[in-house]
Structure 1
Amino acid sequence: MTPVRVGVFGLLGSGNLGNDGSLEAVLGYLRTEHPEAVVGALCGGPEAVTARFGIPATRLHWNRGEYRTASRAGAIAAKGLGKLVDVFRTAAWVRRHDVVIVPGMGVLEATLPLRPWGFPYSLFLLCASGRLFGTPVALVGVGAAPIGNRPTRALVRWSARLAAYRSYRDAPSRDAMRAMGVDTARDTVHPDLAFALPTPPTSPPSGPPGTVCVGVMDFHGGNDDRARADEIYRRYLDGTTRFVHALVADGRPVRLLTGDECDAPVVAAILDAVDSPLVTVAETASLADLMKETAAADTVVATRYHNLICALKAGTPTLALSYAAKSDALMDRMGLGAYCHPAREVDADRLLEQFRELEKHSAELRRTLAERNEAAVQQLNDQFTALTTALFPTHDHTHVHREAP
């Protein structure tokens, strides 16, 4: 039999550890349940994807300057031409595959600054090409949120409608798509794909209070906050810095975490403001690295969504600096819904109070997280079984995908 050709699509290999973690989870599923599949990618960082995952990859955009601001006539013309060329490049790539999977990520949301002619346009081209050539496109465990910008909302809505399969990483995502006019009657909700990744060994802390991991983010608000983006960033940075300073004053070692290459300036600003040997920076290249860091900590306070997932999956009591409904939904799913703090209005004093309350209930929360993580693994087994049934109908469904040891 001819091996099934599977394409994976998204902003993969572009420096965002969460996106690459979702890809890693789907590749684990494919290698376990469909080892005969030939996998290729259409993505943001093809060289990085090929080097790390060993699969052939094609650049998402013809125009290499797609994500640089275009002010000169030549750059603007190149962007416009690129949009036209990408129609044919995307269609040709989709046609070479039997199935296309979009692995997780917030592909149906605009909770961070986003232009309609950027990724939403690329996703629409993918889903439209899939429908045109009869190649099923599966949006697997994706995130969605209400979108105010009308062109972006239209592209996202049509992308979802044209997809052959949809599942979401939380109930608010499915609700958002229903509110945008997508029929979600057959769509399912499962935990984020990252919960299918291996969990590092953990042990409850003993002795005096230990390390606190603080996950930071280059946060300027969402797509509707552009007018006050600088104000939001200053407030976030000031509040987070004051919180780190308070931890250091209590003698607590602080380990700074990031989740994207763009977070480096935030780390540098905190290090400059809090000049102490107690503050160190974790060097992380994957979600596995992040999980190891959070597993070794007593407590985690983090902003980025996948920093939260890594901490929760590691079973470490976690406080979320929440910037979107997805963070609140995740914390609630894992039994820590009371430990959220708004990232747009970080109040260092209030954050410190919540942190101390979190640590007071640390043992109880660790037990809760252990139970919720076990349930998440089973729910993702169900997700992968459903995906096999939908995309590989001739496959023997007797296998069960399980979290790697």
Structure 2
Amino acid sequence: MFGLLGSGNLGNDGSLEALLGYLRAARPDAVVDALCGGPEAVSARFGIPATRLHWYRGEYRTASRAGAVVGKGIGKLVDAVRTAAWVRRHDVVIVPGMGVLEATLPLRPWGFPYALFLLCASGRLTRTPVALVGVGAARIGSRPVRTLVRWSARLAAHRSYRDDLSREAMRAMGVDTSRDAVHPDLAFALPAPPAGPPSDVVCVGVMAFHGGNDDRARAEEIHRRYLDGTVRFVRALVAEGRPVRLLTGDGVDAAVVETILGAVDSPLVSAAETASLADLMKETAAAGAVVATRYHNLICALRAGTPTLALTYAAKSGALMDRMGLAAYCHPADEVDAERLLARFRELEKNAPDLRRVLAERNLAAARELDAHFTALTMALFPAEVS
């Protein structure tokens, strides 16, 4: 397994959990380990050996001093050797889900795009199949990032995507996608909690949102607008006597939670402590409705069957809502207007009984599609054992 796993992003770890569940059912004899961002966390939670993704420990800190710049530069050379040596020890390397072929959030070419390119190039050189399973992709403006992502995809032995937009994005970037499959996000393979009793609680999933990779020049403006609109929305709910439960999906979101708690200052607002997608699903299953920004906050709410309104920051969010029959309930994250958001939220609650029925049907369909894909994946990755 390869990726930014164990680094605090619950969605990434949820994708790993889903793939491990598949592997343990399809290949219980498989010996599994990981090259990842947070090896200690992955080993502790999933019980598999794990190796640090980067040789240089300060890889994701800003290099403001000469020593740090040199360290990063040396690290890039060392990582090329480390990655190739790690890949050649394996029969198959799987990248489990995640948005590894997109740049919908700020991203530098020499960070994860370079690491993914090293992985896929090493796989081709050592004849070890690298499988990108259920990944997200999007058209990329930055030429260096786009080049690394395109070549990573071309060098991979197997590709599948979590939505049609991702496959189309890779086709538009020059990758032959004619044999690439599309299926629901891997998180839909995780078990959903039972639905809770009727509730007035509203879960609001927040995010340290600063726009996308092409929005760096106005990142702070976008963040202030997002935060101000979200605070106003939460205040409006509290004024109606509604309990609000704040959710996150990554450790970096904690500061947003603290800001909202301080700004609203009401006992009706509380913050959930979540360490996994299962925790997020339990929170959303116990709510009457959800408003969420992070992609995997949306997935958890939809998987739990709870009527959900999406604050969308990328096309993937809209595609997910459309797949689940809730395309009408989207609002742009970079232009959060509290009054418009509240009006759309009231419409969501008005139609909640019908939306719950739609979500139940779409969840069953998603589970069937993933079962079929896992069967095809077994045929692709382990043909000798299947035959």
Using structure 2 for the length normalisation, give the TM-score: 0.99
The aligned counterpart of 2:228 is 238
Q: How does 1:289-304 map to 2 (within 5 A)?
A: 289-304=279-294
> CA–CA distance in 2 between the matches of 1:307 and 1:77?
38
2:319 to 329, 338, 345: 329
The aligned counterpart of 1:217 is 207
Q: What letter matches 1:367 in structure 2?
A: R
2:217 to 216, 222, 227: 227
Deviations 1:312-367 (A, max 9, x none): 00000000000000000000000000000000000000000000000000000000
Deviation at 1:203, TM superposition (A): 3.7
Q: What letter matches 1:370 in structure 2?
A: A
The aligned counterpart of 1:91 is 84
The aligned counterpart of 2:31 is 38
The aligned counterpart of 1:316 is 306
Tell me, yes or no, if structure 1 residue 350 matches structure 2 residue 340. yes
1:361 to 351, 363, 376: 351
Q: What letter matches 2:49 in structure 1?
A: P
The aligned counterpart of 1:401 is none
> CA–CA distance in 2 between the matches of 1:126 and 1:147?
20
The aligned counterpart of 1:128 is 121
- Structure 1 SS opposite 2:326: coil
The aligned counterpart of 2:169 is 176
Q: What letter matches 1:39 in structure 2?
A: V
Q: How does 1:84-123 map to 2 (within 5 A)?
A: 84-123=77-116
Deviation at 1:133, TM superposition (A): 0.6
Deviation at 1:386, TM superposition (A): 1.1
- Structure 2 SS opposite 1:19: helix
Tell me, yes or no, if structure 1 residue 191 matches structure 2 residue 181. no
The aligned counterpart of 1:271 is 261
**Conserved in 1, the CA contact under 8 Å of 2:378 and 2:386?**
no
Tell me, yes or no, if structure 1 residue 57 matches structure 2 residue 50. yes
Deviation at 1:230, TM superposition (A): 0.2
The aligned counterpart of 2:383 is 393
Using structure 1 for the length normalisation, give the TM-score: 0.95
- Structure 1 SS opposite 2:95: strand
2:16 to 20, 23, 31: 23
**Conserved in 1, the CA contact under 8 Å of 2:197 and 2:286?**
no
Q: What letter matches 2:314 in structure 1?
A: A
> CA–CA distance in 1 between the matches of 2:314 and 2:63?
29
Deviation at 1:273, TM superposition (A): 0.4
The aligned counterpart of 2:240 is 250
> CA–CA distance in 2 between the matches of 1:121 and 1:236?
31
1:383 to 368, 373, 380: 373
Deviation at 1:396, TM superposition (A): 3.4
> CA–CA distance in 2 between the matches of 1:311 and 1:187?
28
**Conserved in 1, the CA contact under 8 Å of 2:379 and 2:386?**
no
Deviation at 1:383, TM superposition (A): 1.2
Q: What letter matches 1:189 in structure 2?
A: V
Equivalent pairs counted in the alignment come to 387
> CA–CA distance in 2 between the matches of 1:127 and 1:190?
22
> CA–CA distance in 1 between the matches of 2:292 and 2:223?
15
> CA–CA distance in 2 between the matches of 1:395 and 1:261?
40
Deviation at 1:204, TM superposition (A): 5.1
Deviations 1:257-293 (A, max 9, x none): 0000000000000001001000000000000000000
The aligned counterpart of 1:402 is none
**Conserved in 1, the CA contact under 8 Å of 2:84 and 2:118?**
yes
> CA–CA distance in 2 between the matches of 1:193 and 1:22?
6
> CA–CA distance in 2 between the matches of 1:89 and 1:396?
32
> CA–CA distance in 2 between the matches of 1:317 and 1:393?
41
Deviation at 1:229, TM superposition (A): 0.0
**Conserved in 1, the CA contact under 8 Å of 2:19 and 2:186?**
yes
> CA–CA distance in 2 between the matches of 1:72 and 1:220?
25
The aligned counterpart of 1:403 is none
- Structure 2 SS opposite 1:158: helix
> CA–CA distance in 2 between the matches of 1:114 and 1:347?
27
Deviation at 1:395, TM superposition (A): 2.3
Deviation at 1:20, TM superposition (A): 0.0
Q: Identity over aligned residues, as a percent?
A: 81
> CA–CA distance in 2 between the matches of 1:155 and 1:70?
22
> CA–CA distance in 2 between the matches of 1:297 and 1:389?
40
Q: What letter matches 2:325 in structure 1?
A: G
> CA–CA distance in 2 between the matches of 1:32 and 1:394?
17
**Conserved in 1, the CA contact under 8 Å of 2:87 and 2:93?**
yes
Tell me, yes or no, if structure 1 residue 201 matches structure 2 residue 194. yes
> CA–CA distance in 1 between the matches of 2:113 and 2:352?
41
- Structure 2 SS opposite 1:255: strand
- Structure 1 SS opposite 2:33: strand
